[in-house]
Amino acid sequence: MISPDGVPIVCSQPQGVARGLFLHLPAFGQKKEDTRPVLDHLAEKGFTAIGMDTWQQGERGRESRDQLTTRVFGNFRRNMWPILGQTTLDVSRVIDWGLAEFNLTAPVFVSGLSLGGDIAVAAAGLDSRISFVVAVGSTPDWKRPGMHDVVDAAKLLASGEADLYAQFFYDQLNPLTHLDRYARGPWLNFISCEFDNHIPLDGVTRFKAALSDAYPLAGERISLKMLRGRRHMDLLDLDVWWPTASALIDRANSLASSGNS
């Protein structure tokens, strides 16, 4: 299925009337079809669940996964920041379409795995309809200081240099440097691995500390759940992180039902 704005999507529908719209964003190198198990779980919880292809990936890409990986991590800032930025903007377009197509109303829930979680957090700062995010193995700091290779954990990756195009997206959308966009207090729930040095944990802790200093009430809505003994690649196994995400979603549904969201 392709939305009217040309973004390829997949969808899973609940039994009966949907309680709302839930968008899940895939990890780097994944396609929208890879989100299907998550979408089915979300539909079981009563949501109309949508997965989408990120920019330059899935139906929107022309490279093999190996080619994409080599290019992007060969110059991270120049090649990753536009993927993050373009897809962040696309999220709002997909939300527009989803709410109209399925006759739903805001607020909207968004989750994402790795790169997808980075995008979900950025989108929550841009689109006030997003009230709740689950970001799995993700960071609000697009610079990712201390980033190591996802396979060879001993290899520190160079960050590269951004061109004007890439720098524009960072300057406009990087969550850590736009704290004011989170002052309204969306719920941002991070699930991270204890031994993840591909997307280091300190991005989350620095973001929460800075937001708490600037907007204390908003800072209280940032949570970090640690998956003990786990590494970044473990997150490709849905069973590793879904129970934690599921509990967070159930809690959000309970709060919404009681009017305490």
pLDDT in tens, 103-123: 999 999 999 999 999 999 999
Alpha carbon distance 39, 177 (integer Å): 31
Give the mean pLDDT of 85-98: 97
Q: Average pLDDT of 161-183? A: 98
The mean pLDDT value of the chain amounts to 96
Q: What is the mean pLDDT of residues 68-81?
A: 97
Q: For 184-238, write each residue's pLDDT tens digit.
A: 999 999 999 999 999 999 999 999 999 999 999 999 999 999 999 999 999 999 9
Q: What is the pLDDT of residue 3?
A: 78
β partners of residue 226? 192
E-assigned strand segments in 63-209: 108-113, 130-136, 187-193
Q: Residue 258: what pLDDT?
A: 65
Q: Where is pLDDT greater, at 39 or 6?
A: 39
Q: In what order do the strands lie in the sheet with 187-193?
A: 9-12, 47-52, 20-25, 108-113, 130-136, 187-193, 222-227
Residue in the structure block whose two tokens are 């590793």: 240
Task: Let me know the angle formed at the C-alpha of 183 by 141 and 21, rounded to the nearest 5 degrees.
Answer: 80
- Per-residue confidence band for 254, with pLDDT thresholds at 50, 70 and 90: confident
What pLDDT band is residue 253 in, cutting at 50, 70 and 90? confident
Looking at the predicted structure, is the pLDDT value of residue 255 above 90?
no
Residues 6 or more apart in contact with residue 70 via CB below 8 angstroms: none
pLDDT of residue 215: 98
User: Is residue 260's pLDDT more than 90?
Assistant: no
pLDDT at 62 (0 to 100): 94
Q: What tens digit of pLDDT does each residue of 25-47 get?
A: 999 999 999 999 999 999 999 99
| Residue 174 amino acid letter | N
HSE-up of residue 177 (Cα within 13 Å, Cβ side): 10
What does the block give as tokens for 161? 């240099």
Q: Is the pLDDT of residue 257 over 70?
A: no
CATH 3.40.50.1820 matches 9-258: yes
Distance of alpha carbon 167 from alpha carbon 85, whole angstroms: 10
- Compute the distance between CA of residue 46 and CA of residue 50 in angstroms, rounded to an integer: 13
Torsion of CA 148, 71, 234, 237, to 10 degrees: 170
> What is the model's pLDDT at position 4?
73
User: pTM score, two decimals?
Assistant: 0.96
